[in-house]
Amino acid sequence: MSSENQISFTDIPDAIASASGTDRSVSMTVDSELYPLQAVYGASYIFIDRCYVFIDRPAPGSYRITLSAKQSVEEAEALRQLVGEFANELLSCTWRHQVTQDNRVAIETVTVQAIAGAMGEPSLDDLADFDFTDEALDDPLGIAQSWEEKHGRPSPDAKAKTASEPGADEAKADAEEASA
């Protein structure tokens, strides 16, 4: 970024945000003690339809987020708006992260009790033998999801509430094609 194209925002400290008119991009540096990485990811994700988002760590204790607009941005005001929106989204994500952390024990307790309640009380042997070391399955191809989830279709219990059964007709049509 060349210094002659550098843009300053009058209401945002330079140490936090600066913009480049040539690259149509804006960079922000945030304190990692104030904003956890999960919140930075969450806020960045909101912007990926409008911007190319780059995250790096220029120095220990801070994250730098660079938003580069996909569409042409001519005015400094538009870049300032991006900075403001990102700052608010980052604050929102940080707060939600904090609430989740505070309630994690309660959420997990309720979930475990619901599962255990359906089965009856597990024995101490069950708990002692439970293997927590098995990692989740890697599924880069997205195979391990139900047909209904993958195709955005209602589950059979939801279908049962409706009078017609479109799935059967589809199966019939597909199978006819198979035999052709």
Partner 1 sequence: MLPGSRSGTKALIKVGYACNEHCSFCHTLEVRHIQGSTAEVDHKIRRAAELGHEMVVLSGGEPTIRPELVHWASLTASLGLDFGLVTNGQMLAYPELVEKLIARRLRYVYLSLHGGTRKIHNLMVRSDAFDSAYKAVEQLSGRGLDFAVNCVVTRHNVEHLIGLVDALLPYPDVGVKFSMVEPKGGGDKLFDHLMPRVELVAERVMQAIEYGDRRVAALGQSGPSFSHGAIPLCLMPGYEDRFDDLKTHAYRTMIEVGEPDFFPVDDLNKTHATPCHACALRGPCPGLYKGYHEVYGATEVHPHRDRPRSNSYNYKLEKLVSVGFEGSTHTECPLVNGLGVTPWDRGRDLFVRNGKRVARFRAESRDFSDQEIIEIKHDLGQLYLDVSTKPAPDDFARDLVQLVRSPLCDGCPSFGACTGMFEPLFEDVFTRDDTKVREVLAQLRGEILDLGCGEGPYEDILAPLATAGTINYLGVDPHAGAIAALRERWPWAQLRQTGGEELELEPERRFDHVLILRAWNHLREPDKILAELLPRIRAGGTLTIVDNVAFGLARTRDQTQRAERSRAAFEHYRNDSSNDAARVLEPFMERFGLAVIARHEVGPHASNQWLLRVRVDG
Residues near partner 1, by CB under 8 A: 115-116, 118-119, 122, 126, 129-131, 134-139, 141, 143-148, 150, 155-158, 160, 165, 167-168, 170-172, 174-179
**Residue recorded with tokens 């309660």:** 106
CA 136 to chain centre: 19
Crossing angle for the helix pair 76-119 and 37-47, to the nearest 10 degrees: 120
Rounded least distance, CB 101 to partner 1, Å: 23
Nearest Cα residue to 87 out of 164, 163, 16, 180: 16
Q: Which is nearer to partner 1, 97 or 153 (CB)?
A: 153
Q: Which is nearer to partner 1, 48 or 168 (CB)?
A: 168
Q: Which is nearer to partner 1, 59 or 128 (CB)?
A: 128
Rounded least distance, CB 109 to partner 1, Å: 15
Q: Which is nearer to partner 1, 70 or 172 (CB)?
A: 172
Supply the DSSP string of 90-145, one letter for each residue.
Answer: HHHHHHHHHHHHHHHHHHHHHHHHHHHHHH-PPPHHHHHH----PPPPP-TT--SS
Rounded least distance, CB 152 to partner 1, Å: 13
Rounded least distance, CB 172 to partner 1, Å: 5
